[in-house]
Amino acid sequence: MEILGFALLGLLIVMSPGADFVLVLKNSIGAGRKAGLWTALGISLAISVHISYSVLGISYLISQNEALFTAIRYAGSAYLIYLGLKGILTANNTLDTRADETTQVAGLRYLSQGFLCNVLNPKTMLFFLSIFSQVISPDDHSHLTAVGYGLYMMLLHGLWFALVALLFTSAPLQSRLKKVKKRFDQVCGAGLMTFGALLAAD
């Protein structure tokens, strides 16, 4: 029952709107399905970082070090504001493709955006700290349980955001969204800047 509870909690956390969701939405509609899927993969890979330091107990040390935690918080805030401002300034009604970029370079660009958006979010760090503090115990098998739950969260993030990318790049939605793409990019950009500002103000 406890495992089921943690599984449902993870599902609710992943599906709740946040900076990751807005970024995947922005990249999917702005640059196409592959961009959204690369962003989703970046977010999923970032979860492995949270898992690693949570299991090792580093996140507790970070949360207890006010200066370090504040630095992470402001770095995450600045990155979100940068992405949001960039989205507003470059908003247009065409797909964000670059003739001088190979598919691999473009993929890595969107992957890094997803990765940094998630890994620099201190709220995500605190979520994993709180969850793993409940999962890990003196029991010899608790670390295996924690790693298992972490892998579940990675998979959950990857699947959910990939689904978002696929849904919002489907043909029926694309034909409608193309007409309002510029406005949508601006709204997503403003949303990212808002998340960044709120993160800095917390």
Cα radius of gyration rounded to whole Å, the chain = 18
Q: Is pTM, for the whole model, over 0.95?
A: no
Band (pLDDT 50/70/90 cuts) for residue 178 is low
Average pLDDT value for residue range 136-151: 68
User: Which structure tokens are listed for 122?
Assistant: 């201190």
pLDDT in tens, 1-20: 456 766 777 777 787 778 89
Name the one residue in this structure whose structure tokens are 């670059």: 98
Query: Alpha-carbon dihedral of residues 30, 31, 36, 37, nearest 10 degrees?
Result: 170
% pLDDT > 90, the chain: 22
Residue 97: pLDDT above 60? no
Return the pLDDT at 100.
46
Q: Mean pLDDT lowest for which of 46-55, 88-97, 124-133?
A: 88-97
Query: Alpha-carbon dihedral of residues 76, 157, 25, 190, nearest 10 degrees?
Result: -30
Structural element, H or E, at residue 81: helix 66-89
